[in-house]
Structure 1
Amino acid sequence: MLVIVGRIGRAHGIKGEVGMIVRTDDPDLRFADGAQLVTVSTPPRTLTVESSRWHSGRLLVKFTDSPDRTAAENLRNLEVQAEIAEDERPEDPDEYYDRELIGLKVRTTDGVEAGEVIDVIHLPSQDLLEIRRPAGNAVLVPLVEELVPSIDLDSGYVEVADRPGLLDPEGAEVVPSEPGDSGR
């Protein structure tokens, strides 16, 4: 199974290295020397990692078919995928692959059926679960322990601590404005 592990950033230097926007919890494995990655492009390309190193908190990767800066710039913004075994799991028991979460049923901590996970959205600040509600609309729930206290892959459920406005945006609490507050 192919899983997105990063997005190629700008070229670094003149020898074909690129900055990598990492989308994996195990970059040292996924970007190890000799690793083969497949681009999300038409047509897809297979890129072989020649070397990788950390520089100022950023992962720099050199691909075998990227001999210079011009070749590296041509790779910019391509997402890359790695082949991962279907049964592979992250080492940390509290981490999950997106593919494991998509399709799970959602219920509240009170046991009420609340929908199904249809996507996992990765933002710089936190990850979000996109949940299709029984009515057909979708909501975004931050994937943090306070709001998603448990995930049970064996039972096929994600538990969400329902808060006003979380699963039903129309039911959000309205905070009264202060006297003299124009509402802006």
Structure 2
Amino acid sequence: MAKDRLCVGAIAGAFGVRGDVRLKSFCAEAAAIARYAPLYSEDGTVEYTVKLGKPVPNGFAARLGGITTREQAEALRGARLYADREKLPDLPDDEFYHSDLIGLTVLDTGGTVIGRVSSVQNHGAGDLLELQRPGKGNALLPFTKAMVPTVDLAGGRVIADPPEGLFE
């Protein structure tokens, strides 16, 4: 996916028999996903208008443009939906879109390369940066101000201050 689009949601399956889908929103304000439409398929070849319906567990019932049958909706299960970056809100200086962090080089405070950010995860207790460490496998680094005091998007790097022994 191009850097000018960000993942804002995913289809969890069909809802009803008229082509509605169960839409999971990855937005800070869940209902904002409709404001970012049109949404696009991961490869960018399909464009969807979005009309949110009632809230359902873990998302919304939603109508996507061009989807009119339960079979079409069910075929989209697991599909991620992307919005143009220009439609998304600007973030404060200490917040980042996950896609902007992926690929950044992670250095310790002495300038030694620790690894590269391969994903950003959240299992309920806060964000974790998954690092690919050269020749050492992957590791998780809590994405807190104490552990990651500097994020330099323009420089393509993150400065980390992990406690001694975290990556042993």
TM range (shorter): 0.7 to 0.9
Q: Does 2:127 correspond to 1:121?
A: no
The unaligned stretches of length 5 or more in structure 1 are: 172-184
The unaligned stretches of length 5 or more in structure 2 are: none
6, 9, 23: which is aligned to 1:6? 9
Q: Which amino acid aligns with 2:113?
A: A
CA contact (8 A) 1:90 1:96 kept: no
What's the secondary structure of 1:31's corresponding residue?
helix
Q: Matches of 2:40 and 2:93 in 1, distance apart?
A: 27
Q: Name the CA shift for 1:132/1:55 in 2 (closer, same or farther; >3 Å).
A: closer
Q: CA RMSD in A?
A: 3.2
Q: Which amino acid aligns with 1:147?
A: M
Give 1 or 2 for the bigger CA radius of gyration. Answer: 1
Q: Matches of 2:134 and 2:14 in 1, distance apart?
A: 46
Q: How far is the alpha carbon of 1:74 from its aligned partner?
A: 1.8
Structure number with higher relative contact order (C-alpha < 8 Å, ≥ 6 residues apart): 2
Q: Which amino acid aligns with 2:120?
A: I
Instruction: After TM superposition, list the pairs within 5 Å mapping 1:146-157 onto structure 2.
Output: 146-157=146-157
What's the secondary structure of 2:73's corresponding residue?
helix
Superposed CA offset, 1:126-163 (max 9, x none): 43323243557442223233432332335543232222
Q: Which amino acid aligns with 2:37?
A: A
Q: Matches of 2:135 and 2:57 in 1, distance apart?
A: 47
Superposed CA offset, 1:86-136 (max 9, x none): 9x764333221133223433222x433233433223344243323243557
TM-score, normalised to structure 2, is: 0.74
TM-score, normalised to structure 1, is: 0.68
* Deviant stretches of 4+, over 6 Å: none
Superposed CA offset, 1:49-88 (max 9, x none): 13355345623321122224332212111111112139x7
Q: Name the CA shift for 1:150/1:89 in 2 (closer, same or farther; >3 Å).
A: farther
CA contact (8 A) 1:89 1:97 kept: no
